[in-house]
Structure 1
Amino acid sequence: MQVTRRGLLGGAVGLGAALATPRLLRAEAVAMRPLSGEELVDAAQLGGDVGYIVADARSGLVLESRDANKAMAPASTAKTITTLYALETLGSDYRFTTSLLGTGPVAGGVLQGDLILAGGGDPTLDTDGLADLAARLVKAGVSGVAGRFYTWGGALPYASEISDDQPVHVGYNPSISGLILNYNRVHFEWRRGSGGYSLEMDARGAAHKPKAYTIDASLAARKSPAFRYSQSGGKEHWSVASAALNKHGSLWLPVRQPDAYAGDVFQTLARAQGCPLPAPQPLRALPAGAQVITARQSTDLPRILRDMMRYSTNITAEAVGMTATAARGANAARGPSGAAMSQWLAQRLGGGKARFVDHSGLGANDRISALEMVRAVTLLGPKVGLRGLMKPFELRDDNGGKRQSQPFRVDAKTGTLNFVSTLTGYMTAPDGTELTFAIFTGDLARRQRAGDSGSGAWVRRSKVLQSRLLERWAALYG
């Protein structure tokens, strides 16, 4: 059912708002307009649930909606809420810090105590950044350590993976820790030569390519599954089906022991700087009295979030969301942290149905309505410059391909899971009218029943529907 220019999202943050009683468009008006929303939904042949809403970005006036109050899986559009949550909690000047701590003085170039690589939850720390930290250690006068070398990732609660319903080998579903390196991924490369395959695991950056000694791979004479994972002896092991490999290729695999991985790589980089270190050991708690020898800060939070929104990096969303929860003094573990963000959103919007179990939307158990999403985008987004952190959205043609041109601008966050496709953001109509919108589609029953079989075609149809709805709104309200 459609509503046109009837409801207000709410003039101030914290005030409750509900859609006004829907009214059908007059038949004579329909005849002069593009296909109705219902006709577009019918043409998409998606099944499951379709909810959407479009509003005037300045006044909050609801222009059109369908099942906007229905709580649905947001997929990666959940990162929109995480962005708002993190910026309001941490502030735009926030930077993550990775530190090297010492438990004793430096004498004759030797640290008379233990060295600790302490993560601060920086999701953007890469191998080149870790190499810079090793160089800073040597510049600070340390060329050796009399004690032990520890790694500490306790700034964030550990989780072995973001979601438990993903394939074992996908790099977008790594572990979570306060010590994050290369988005907690390791680079796996294979090459077939005259003597068979050579396999390599490394932690490559733009300027450095250290071997990953805590993670290895071996070939197995099987057709499937392509990857199997195990741990033993403090190391991670990947078994790869030889039938799944072509002549040469590479991919990023998820890391499950991130503290050991980062410590291993740092040991190699420090040795290259002339500072040999003992084998890294995990540390449960930072010792009292440990002093900062040197540290490295990330770029500012808005730039981190802009990249997160553009590339939809799940580990970034989890790290910034959990860091925000910790800053609020709440339980920052993945599930409780998602609940804390849900409570925050309900407080800011004056109630609602949103329920988050994570900050990335990678799992299918998050829930938020299109109405709540648009209220957050409309009421909270302008204060933190949300539109500038979103990615330009390109309209699709009827075959799912990108249009060569479009007469209006859209900045949005997409979300995709098997049989879930979502979109939210801002659009500027041809006459300059600013609109906010959310379009949620999902068939969770089919997702559970069919896995990924047929999901690609379904998602393409959903993206076509999203484009047709945006074109409809540009024509009607611009």
Structure 2
Amino acid sequence: MAVAAVVAVVASLVVLVRASGPTGANATSIAPAPPLVSLNPEIKDLPSGAPIPNPVALQRALADLVTAAGLGNFTGEISDAETGRVLWSSDPNKATVPASTAKLLTTAAALLTLPIDHRLTTRIVAGAHPGEIVLVAGGDPTLSAAPVGTPSYYPGAARIDDLAAQIKKSGVKFTSLTLDTSAFTGPAMAQGWHAEDIPGGFIAPLAPVMIDGSRLANDENAPRSDTPAIDVAQAIAKRLGIDSTDVKPGTAPPNARELAKVQSATLGERMTQMMAHSDNILAETIGRELVIERGGDPSFRGVVAAVTSVLTEAGFDMTGVSIQDASGLSDDDRIPARVLDKIMVAAAGNGRPALRPMLDFLPVAGANGTLEDRFDAGDRAGAGWVRAKTGTLAEASSLAG
């Protein structure tokens, strides 16, 4: 409530020019075009004279709304980001299913641990046997199979064609491809995930390398493959002319000679996409990125431990938090509204400057991402102003911003 989002409006100017007509004294003069309007949406600090939120008025305004039967098991908390003062709450300590608002915890922990320009590297190295090359997966789920120079699903994604081209230019003879996925450990599906969500387009078995988040088509909600890493290896093998039967799992030899590498977009760019479209695969791999940086176990259990530890060390009270993943897709995740509120207060107020970029990652109501068609009905009072992370599961709906 202490943060204002400024939305710039760009006007379109159409100039009609006569191709022919009178000249000289009867000629029509055309005024020079005005200077271009620059688009610079930003979040500004509150002016010193801004009104102080009134808890009594807020309670009165919300009284009928928060008791609506359609809300079911409702909890929440609202705070003034300037002071941290709680203005309104309803069972804020009760741990409930957060759905994708759990991504706020993952994002906050990553921002407190990793540089925002951190990138993931996918490498191909020389194998231990003649003619063998090894694809070393480095945690990047955004690799693109689109030709270099054409749009990719994830902006700034590394290209498979680039890897293949580097190998061909290296002069190395290759006859087989080994796939090394040892960067991730543990189960590929988290507790509380459902197998039907793979063809449903919500998730894929987690692997340290994927094409377009394992989507089977260039569409946000496309069904996912259940063999994401193998798909990448086979795509590279095809470009190199390696027979599919000569692609096998394995590990790279120690200190293997690097033959080719590509890098992902920055962490900040990936978190922007993750938050805007509530991308579960990006959330889970960013969780692995975090735990690897801390030297932990790159598994679901390790990610949960790392996220919880980082936020606890940063001073957040994690009492009541019980999560199984980094994305909030699990039915078994539980987070109190108080924790989400305190993270947003830290980002929007003066508590944790490192979390400030989170505000830029959030979808804007009536404008983009999962809020594109929210808060824009009627008088559109919230459009352009509300910035929030949505969360939706079969039996839960949440919002934090």
TM-score, length of structure 2 as denominator length: 0.73
Letter in 1 for 2:166: R
1:400 is displaced (CA, Å) by: 8.7
Superposed CA deviations along residues 87-113 of structure 1, whole A, max 9, x for unmatched, are: 222211210001111137xxxxxx944
Conservation of the 8 A alpha-carbon contact between 1:152 and 1:178: no
CA RMSD of aligned residues (A): 3.1
- The reply on whether 1:181 has 2:211 as its aligned counterpart is yes
Conservation of the 8 A alpha-carbon contact between 1:175 and 1:256: yes
SS at match of 1:186: coil
Task: Show structure 1 runs of 5+ residues with no match.
Answer: 1-23, 105-110, 188-203, 206-249, 426-478
SS at match of 2:209: coil
Alpha-carbon separation, structure 1, partners of 2:300 and 2:202:
16
Partner of 1:40: 65
Partner of 1:127: 145
Alpha-carbon separation, structure 1, partners of 2:353 and 2:75:
24
Partner of 2:185: 157
Alpha-carbon separation, structure 1, partners of 2:364 and 2:398:
15
Conservation of the 8 A alpha-carbon contact between 1:336 and 1:357: no
- The reply on whether 1:288 has 2:247 as its aligned counterpart is no
Superposed CA deviations along residues 246-288 of structure 1, whole A, max 9, x for unmatched, are: xxxx9733222222211111112233xxxx4663534343212
Distance 1:402 1:270, change over 3 A: farther
1:359 to 314, 326, 335: 326
Partner of 1:303: 269
Partner of 1:84: 108
Conservation of the 8 A alpha-carbon contact between 1:173 and 1:315: yes
Alpha-carbon separation, structure 1, partners of 2:365 and 2:203:
25
1:386 to 358, 372, 375: 358
1:377 is displaced (CA, Å) by: 2.0
Partner of 2:22: none
Letter in 2 for 1:114: E
SS at match of 2:89: strand
TM-score, length of structure 1 as denominator length: 0.62
Distance 1:294 1:352, change over 3 A: same
Partner of 1:406: 381
Distance 1:166 1:55, change over 3 A: farther
SS at match of 1:410: coil
1:341 to 307, 312, 318: 307
Partner of 2:298: 332
- The reply on whether 1:261 has 2:237 as its aligned counterpart is no
1:170 is displaced (CA, Å) by: 1.6
Structure with the largest fraction of strand: 1
Aligned-pair identity in percent equals 27
1:158 is displaced (CA, Å) by: 5.3
Conservation of the 8 A alpha-carbon contact between 1:134 and 1:269: yes
SS at match of 2:161: helix
1:412 is displaced (CA, Å) by: 1.0
Moved more, 277-286 or 111-120: 277-286
Superposed CA deviations along residues 361-388 of structure 1, whole A, max 9, x for unmatched, are: 0012112111111111222564231101
Alpha-carbon separation, structure 1, partners of 2:262 and 2:98:
34
Task: Show structure 2 runs of 5+ residues with no match.
Answer: 1-53, 147-158
Distance 1:90 1:282, change over 3 A: farther
SS at match of 1:391: coil
Alpha-carbon separation, structure 2, partners of 1:78 and 1:251:
20
Conservation of the 8 A alpha-carbon contact between 1:100 and 1:294: yes
1:377 to 333, 344, 364: 344
SS at match of 1:84: helix
2:81 to 57, 69, 90: 57
Alpha-carbon separation, structure 2, partners of 1:50 and 1:258:
38
Conservation of the 8 A alpha-carbon contact between 1:152 and 1:282: no
SS at match of 1:349: coil
Letter in 1 for 2:362: M
Alpha-carbon separation, structure 2, partners of 1:278 and 1:74:
42
- The reply on whether 1:118 has 2:136 as its aligned counterpart is yes
Conservation of the 8 A alpha-carbon contact between 1:264 and 1:279: no
Conservation of the 8 A alpha-carbon contact between 1:97 and 1:296: yes
1:401 is displaced (CA, Å) by: 7.2
- The reply on whether 1:317 has 2:345 as its aligned counterpart is no
Letter in 1 for 2:397: S
Conservation of the 8 A alpha-carbon contact between 1:160 and 1:256: no
Aligned residue-pair number: 324
Conservation of the 8 A alpha-carbon contact between 2:122 and 2:140: yes
Distance 1:280 1:183, change over 3 A: farther
Conservation of the 8 A alpha-carbon contact between 1:341 and 1:356: no
Alpha-carbon separation, structure 2, partners of 1:323 and 1:400:
34
SS at match of 2:196: coil
Distance 1:161 1:185, change over 3 A: farther
